[in-house]
Amino acid sequence: MPLQGEYVPSPTQWVRDQVELYESSGGTKGTTLRGMPVVVLTTRGAKSGKIRKSPLMRVEHEGSYAIVASLGGAPEHPVWYHNVLADPHVELQDGPQKADMVAREVTGEEKAFWWDKAVEAFPDYADYQAKTDRVIPVLVLEKV
């Protein structure tokens, strides 16, 4: 069941614009970052209950996806990570496909597997992890 509620766009202009282009084109435009594929994650705000949308790099394997709370290697987690922990029922748009998914954070060998897939998809993740003491969380999304 798609998340219902009032959508509040990101305060970051380029992020807001990418979501707008992605959605208004039915997932045919705004679907890359520097030529690498991007998905749009929809979460429910942990405090506001509002609908939030975050473009993320596309990391997919056999129908499941990983989302990486990298925030460019910043010292703090992105806010959307807290939203997902508070309510793991999310929506993911991958090009024209939208799906209800459930998220779970992964650790250990499972995280290592998905981290390799993530770095394969977007090598900058390795640089982000190298530049921060924060352990960058990885969450796996599986279809409901």
Burial of residue 18, with CB atoms counted within 10 A of its CB: 0-12 exposed, 13-18 middle, 19 or more buried: buried
Stretch that binds ligand F42, among 20-28, 44-52, 95-103, 107-115 (CB under 6 A): 44-52
Q: With b meaning 16 or more CB within 10 Å and e meaning fewer, what string describes 70-96? A: bbebeeebbbbbebbbeeeebbbbbbe
Which position among 68, 92, 140, 141 is part of the footprint of ligand F42 (CB under 6 A)?
68
Smallest gap, in angstroms, from Cβ of residue 32 to ligand F42? 9
The whole-angstrom separation of Cα 92 and Cα 99 is 5
Handedness of CA 93, 94, 98, 102 (dihedral sign): negative
Binding residues for ligand F42, rule CB under 6 A, total 27
Which position among 27, 31, 38, 90 is part of the footprint of ligand F42 (CB under 6 A)?
38
DSSP letter (8 states) at residue 144 = -
Stretch that binds ligand F42, among 21-29, 50-58, 91-99, 101-109 (CB under 6 A): 50-58
Smallest gap, in angstroms, from Cβ of residue 77 to ligand F42? 8
Which residue is listed with tokens 């202009």? 13
Which position among 22, 31, 42, 52 is part of the footprint of ligand F42 (CB under 6 A)?
52
DSSP letter (8 states) at residue 35 = T
Stretch that binds ligand F42, among 21-29, 69-77, 87-95, 99-107 (CB under 6 A): 69-77
The whole-angstrom separation of Cα 41 and Cα 31 is 13
Q: Which residues contact ligand F42 by CB under 6 A?
A: 10-12, 14-15, 18, 33, 38, 45-48, 50, 52, 54-57, 68-71, 78-80, 82-83
